[in-house]
Chain A
Amino acid sequence: MACLSEIKIQKYIEGGLAAVERSLVRDHLIVCAKCRASYQRYEKLEKSLGEPVYITPPPIIERNVLRMLFPRIPSYSSIFALLAASFLLLITGIYIYFDFANNSIIQAFQLTSHDTSNWIGSIIKAISTVFSTVYAVFKAINAFFEVIFKVNIGVEIIGLCMLLFLSWSFYSLSRLVLKKIKGSN
């Protein structure tokens, strides 16, 4: 029998030959050293291929896919929380810019509200009361720093820091609450 073709050896290894042909190949492999060597090499190759070398996928793939498919916080809650925080920041800006407690506009508002009994007057009264109280708190904190640490930070700076902190707290809290609401649904 002539030497075996490469394909025939491979088919023999795969078990893809009919019984008669299979036994002929087996007999040939016993007597032919060259074909036997080729057969053994194919067996080794088959074994190596049968145990693939996998490359570990970077964890970033799963992370990115999941983040893109399922954003952790629903976008509407983020927008709402951001708007709320921006609102607080805006008030902070107004507070600092107008030097609230001493500003003539606010004083004018306060005076106007004295003689007003409608709902606009009530709102002005409420706002000016809130700001007066907040200002008093900031003033007290500043006095505290002045007495203890002998440093005059300034009511406006303290006000800004406090309101920034409040904005941040409100933003975080809003996200947390909205996430819980979303989760309970």
Chain B
Amino acid sequence: MSLDDDQVLIEKILAGKRSSFEELMKKHNKKIFGYIYRMVRDEDVAIELTQDFFLKLYHILDKYNFEYKFTTWAYRICYNMVIDHVRKNPAHIDSLENENILPKLMESGNYVMEDTFEDLVKEEIREYTWSVVDRIPLKFRELILMRYLQDLKYEEIADISQLPVGTVKNRLFKAKEMLKTELEKDGVLK
């Protein structure tokens, strides 16, 4: 059985090489934190949950089955942690319908100024689109995040969220329809 990059790192970690865990964490930190942050919409909570995720990951790494893709396994752990948190704090998560987190994103240093006006407009549309993603209901948002932020296939999303593939697809279509309607309403998509 040939191992992918993540699996090679896991083998090294299990053999006692600590630096490989650091490498694995660096590789996935951005996607994991991005996903958690957009799900819980609170930086401190996102930091705490991301830390908890990596600590848990390290402690149960020996239970990982090399027959499966690492990301599917890891994202499922992450998904369950976030859902647990969301269930315990429902009011906090789904009560920000009118909040626009764009300024916060711009502060984060990911807001890249492009050279031309056209590029700038594209960039603003992109930023605005993702700020709208943060406002849609959780059951749609989580799928958009898995599909586009974590770059997962429908089957992987279905596996992680324990939903049938058809439901995942339909919810994603519905989510995009909602996003399109919101963006049209805000005059961003013309």
Chain A contacts to B: CB under 8 angstroms: 6-7, 10-11, 38, 41-42, 44-46, 48-58, 60-62, 64-66, 68-70
Chain B contacts to A: CB under 8 angstroms: 18, 21-22, 25-26, 29-34, 37-38, 43, 47, 50-51, 54-55, 58, 105, 108-110, 125-127, 129-130, 133, 144, 147-149, 170, 173, 176-177, 179-180, 183-184, 189-190
Residues of A within 8 A of B108 (CB): 55-56
Contact of B30 among A51, A56, A68, A69 (CB under 8 A): A56
* CB pair A51 B126 closer than 8 Å: yes
Q: A109 to B180: give the CA distance in the assembly, Å.
A: 93
Secondary structure at the B interface, as helix, strand, loop or mixed, is: helix
* CB pair B50 A61 closer than 8 Å: yes
* CB pair A52 B34 closer than 8 Å: yes
What are 28 A-B residue pairs whose CB atoms fall within 8 Å in the complex? A6-B177, A7-B173, A10-B173, A10-B177, A41-B183, A41-B189, A45-B180, A45-B189, A48-B126, A48-B129, A49-B148, A50-B148, A53-B105, A53-B110, A53-B126, A53-B130, A54-B110, A55-B37, A55-B110, A57-B29, A57-B34, A61-B51, A62-B26, A64-B51, A65-B54, A68-B51, A68-B55, A69-B21
Q: A68 to B184: give the CA distance in the assembly, Å.
A: 47
Contact of B109 among A11, A44, A45, A56 (CB under 8 A): A56
